[in-house]
Chains A and B, each alone.
Chain A
C-alpha cells in the first residue's frame, strides 16, 4: 500500500531518513519522530531507526551521514496520527526489547494503522503477532526482574544502610522498572546495577548511572545464609518437580540468586529425605494375632518403639478369655516386669483392695496395660518409672486392640490418661470424662478413672477426696456389670 501513496510536499521524494535514537529505550523520542514522519507520508521502507552503537538496518548503510539533520517537518494542516490504546500499550513495552528491528516494526504497524484502524484485532497478522511476542518477552523480563533482584546490604560512610543489587536483564527494562522498586522501597537507599545501566534511589530522587559490572556490587550479605536455610526448609522433598521449577526459574537466573546455589544438593538429597520420612512413619506389616498366646509372643518380639529395647520383657494381660470386664493400666512397673504379670506391685495391690471393696472380682476380669514394656530411667540402682509418650502408646495400641478383639469385653475400665489414650487414640482429661461411659466402636463401654498409683502419691485431704472418687467410679462400673 505504501507504493500507492504519494510522498507529501515536505518530504523529499525518494529520500531516505535515518533516525538516531538517543537511548535504546527512548519510546517518547521514537513516538515523536514517528508521528512527524507519518504526517509527512514517509513510508516505512524509507526510514531506518538506529539505536546508540547500532548500525540500523541494511538500507541505513548509505543513510545515516546525510540524514536526521534534515528531518521533514509536517505541514500545518497534516492529519493527526491515530493509534489504538492497545497498540500504544504494546508498543511501549515492545520498544524495550533488544531486537534491533523493533522500532522499524512499530513504525510499519503504525503506518498500517492509519489505513486500517482495527489492525490490532487481527491476531493472525504476522506483524501484530510479532509485536505481541516482543511485548510479552519484555513483560516476562520485567516480571522476573521484580522477582529476582536480590539486594545486598552495605553500610555507607555515614552509617546508613545502602542496598545494592546486581541484575542481568534480557531487555532494556531497567529505567522503566525502576519505578516499581521506588514504590516498593520508597524509604530505603538502594541501587540496581546492570550491564545496561544502573539506577540509584536515595530516598528522594532517582539517578541514572552508566552500565556496571558484577564486581561493582557487594559480594555477600550475612542474611543470605538465613534465606538459604529458609529455602531449604520450605521445600517438600516428597513432591519433587524440577521441571516446574525450571520453567519459572530458568537456569540463566541462577547465578545471581543466593538460594540457587543449594538447588543441586536439595534435588540430590530429596529422594533420600523422602525415603527417610516414609521409613520413619512406617510400621512393620504383620498379621493380626488370633490367640492371646500369639499376642504374648508378638509383643515380646516387637521392636516398634524404643521402650522395647531396654532389656525388659513384654507383660501382656491375664484373666479369663471371655471376660465381661477389661481393666487397662498404663504400663508394667518394676515389679510387674520381674513377675511378668500386670498389676502386682504397690499400685496393683491398692487396685485389688478397691476392686474388692467395690465388689468386683479381679479374677473374673481381664487385666492388662496400654503399653506392654516397662519404660524407665536408672537412678542409682533403681529403675525409675517414666511415662510413655503418646507416640509410644499409639504404637502399642496394636497389641491392646488385638487383646480386646480377642476378649471382647462389654466394659473397659481405663486407669489413667495413658490407658484412655490407648483405648481412644486421643488424649482426654480424666476429670472431664470420668463418671460416665464412652461408647467404643464395637459397642463396648469405656469408663475412665485415675490410675491407683496417683492415689499413692497423694496424702491428707486430697487423698481422701480422690480415693472416694475412685471408689465411686469403681462402684459405677460394678453397677453396670451387675445390670448385665
Chain B
C-alpha cells in the first residue's frame, strides 16, 4: 500500500527522535535580504516548540529513509528490526522544510538517514537535499547533516559546504562496545572522518581570512553523540572519551543520549534503562570541562568507587566534597578560576562577584544577592563577615547539601 506523505513523516520523524541534538545556534550570521529565498540565522538558536518530553523543537529532524543495511543493536532502524519502513525523495524533504520554515515552525533541517545501497549513495541523496535547498531555493536557514563515516571523504566535504553543522556519531564510548553492539561500524573509520572534518573546518576558516568570498565549511562546527547505558562503560570512560573528542577533533558539542527502551529491542541490550539523571550528570560534567576549567582527570576524580558520578548530587559538589582542602574560597580575593570551583556559583554569579567587588568588600548578604542560593554556597566561601570554619570539616556535609530525598507517604 502506498504510504501518504503524512504517514511517512510520522515514521521518519519517529525514527529520528533518538538523536539528542536539536541545536540551531553558533553558526555564521546570515539573512535573506538581497537574496531570492528565505531564511536567517542570527547566532542564537530559537526553540520554536517544546515537546512534552521537555526537549526543544528547533529543527525539522527527520531521516531521509529508515531502511538500513547496518545492524546496530541499540538502533531502532537496524536491519533486523521490525519497524515500519519509509523513504522520502530529496524533493519531498525540501518541500517539507520550506513549508514548515515559511510558517515559522522551524529554524531549519536536521537530516539523517539509514544507509541504503551504500554509504556513498546515501550521502549523495542527503547532499542533494541540501543542494536543492541552498542552490535552487536560496535557503539561508540552518542545515545540520548527519554524515556517514563510511562514505567518501569527498562526499563529506560536499556536505560541509552546504551545511551549517555536520555530525558523525561515535555511538559508544568504548571500542569493545562498538564491536559488540554495532558490528558494522569501525572506530578508526569514525575518528578518521572526524579528523578530516576538523582539518577542513580549519582550512576553510584560514581561507576566509585571506579571501573574503572563500566558501564556508560547516560554520557551526561538528558534533557527535554517545549512547549512555547501552554497554557497561562507566562515567569515567565516557568523560575520558568526550574530552579526547573535544581535544583531538575540536568538537562543538558531545551529546549524551540515555539509552531508552526502543520498540522491538535487540536481545543483546540490557533490559534496564539507565536513569535519565545519569545523562544529566554527564552533561553537567561536560559543562565543567567546557566552561569551568576542570580537566577531564579532575571530573573523573569526582566519581565514586564504581567510576560513575554520584546521582544524588551534582559533579561539582561531589568534587568539592572530595577536595575540601581547596575550600573555603575568599570571594573578595580569590581568582576567577577558584571562584568557578565553588558549588553553587555559576559563570554569571562569578562575573557579578568580580564586578561587584571592585566597588565594595563583599559581605555574605551581598553574595546572597548575587547568587541563586546562598545556602549551597555558604560552606565553601569566606566573606568579610563570614567564615565557615566548622561547616567545611563536618563529616555529614554531603547529607546537609544533597537535595532531600522525598519521603513516600502511606498510600
Contacts and interface: CB of A to CB of B under 8 A. Distances in A.
Interface of A: 118, 121-124, 143, 146-153, 163, 165, 180, 182-188, 221, 223-227, 229-245, 248-249, 257, 259, 263, 266-267, 270, 274, 276-278, 280-283, 389-391, 394-395, 397-398, 425-427
B266 A236 contact: no
B51 A231 contact: yes
Contact of B104 (A124, A150, A243): A150
B264 A165 contact: no
Interface in B119-136: none
Contacts of B37: 187
Given A163-B102, A226-B96, A281-B262, A185 B38 contact: yes
Contacts of B46: 143, 146-147
Nearest to A266: B52
A284 to B, nearest CB: 11
B6 A225 contact: yes
B56 interface: yes
A177 to B, nearest CB: 12
A235 B49 contact: no
B71 A227 contact: no
Interface in B21-65: 31-40, 42, 46-57, 60-62
Contacts of B71: 390, 426-427
Contact of A184 (B16, B38, B56, B356): B38
Interface of B: 5-6, 9-11, 13-14, 16-18, 31-40, 42, 46-57, 60-62, 71, 79-82, 96, 99-100, 102-105, 183-184, 258, 260-269, 271, 273, 276, 352, 355-356, 358-359, 366, 369-370
B352 A123 contact: yes
B66 to A, nearest CB: 12
A240 B53 CA distance: 4
B9 A229 contact: yes
11 contacts: A147-B48, A186-B31, A188-B102, A226-B100, A230-B62, A240-B52, A249-B50, A274-B261, A281-B262, A281-B263, A281-B269
A230 B9 contact: yes
Contacts of A180: 40, 42
A231 to B, nearest CB: 7
B38 A186 contact: yes
Given A184-B39, A233-B14, 4 more contacts: A221-B103, A230-B60, A240-B52, A244-B50
Contacts of A185: 32, 38, 102
Nearest to B258: A239
B267 A183 contact: no
Given A243-B54, A270-B52, A389 B82 contact: yes
Given A234-B16, A280-B264, A394-B80, A223 B52 contact: no
Contacts of A182: 33
B52 A242 contact: yes
B50 to A, nearest CB: 4
Contact of A148 (B17, B48, B352, B359): B48
Nearest to B365: A124
A391 B352 contact: no
B10 A229 contact: yes
Contacts of B9: 226, 229-230, 233
A237 B33 CA distance: 40
Chain A interface helix/strand/loop/mixed = helix
Contacts of B54: 239, 241-245
B263 A280 contact: yes
Contact of B51 (A151, A221, A235): A235
B260 A239 contact: yes
Given A184-B32, A226-B6, A236 B103 contact: no
Contacts of B57: 231, 234
Nearest to B260: A238
A182 B31 CA distance: 9
A127 B26 CA distance: 34
Contacts of A146: 46
A113 B107 CA distance: 41
A271 to B, nearest CB: 11
A223 B100 contact: yes
A389 B80 contact: yes
B33 A183 contact: yes
B102 A153 contact: yes
A248 B53 CA distance: 12
Contacts of B105: 150, 227
A362 B85 CA distance: 43
A455 to B, nearest CB: 26
Which of A121, A229, A283, A426 has its CB near the most chain B CB atoms (within 10 A)?
Answer: A426
B32 A187 contact: yes
Given A151-B103, A184-B38, A390-B79, A229 B268 contact: no
Contacts of A394: 80, 266-268
Nearest to B34: A186
B35 A186 contact: yes
Contact of B355 (A121, A143, A248): A121
A277 B40 contact: no
Nearest to A165: B104
A278 B271 CA distance: 9
Contacts of A235: 17, 51-53
A248 B264 contact: no
A186 B80 contact: no
